[in-house]
Structure 1
């Protein structure tokens, strides 16, 4: 009887450790903000130095207010992500064209 109690206790501790490990990994990948779940990969840390060519873009998203740098992330037809300055006239024009 004592052996089964010890085994059950070990099993519970192992399960708790596994859950804590999963939660830590999830927390590292997602930030919870007031607007909901936000992935750090949805932020830009610099703008592309290249001119935005709208013909290569298929869509865009604006970065969340939780990001340090406000930006527009264009998605190219080849599924690449391009960070651009939302104040740039060409960026604004491309956003309008894509709408």
Structure 2
């Protein structure tokens, strides 16, 4: 069975919401055989809270979480990281 991985990283305040980095990493992870849960494909225009209401359940169903560079500066990614650790998920950090 293929593993599911969630991508977390900074989005707010970054040009194009950092979507190119998310999409590029998603492609790499798919090539490695993962089912990728990518928040960058969500539609624009919702509030930060609405995105988090969607993303935390995505973290919940993932087997692993992948942290993009700069995640430590992101409120949302920090919450996702904390949630993943509290659920016992393995975490991969971008070098």
Bigger Cα Rg: 1
Q: Which has the higher helix share?
A: 2
User: What interval of TM-score do these two structures reach, taking the shorter chain for normalisation?
Assistant: under 0.3
TM-score, length of structure 1 as denominator length: 0.23
Q: Which has the higher contact order (CA 8 A, sep 6+)?
A: 2
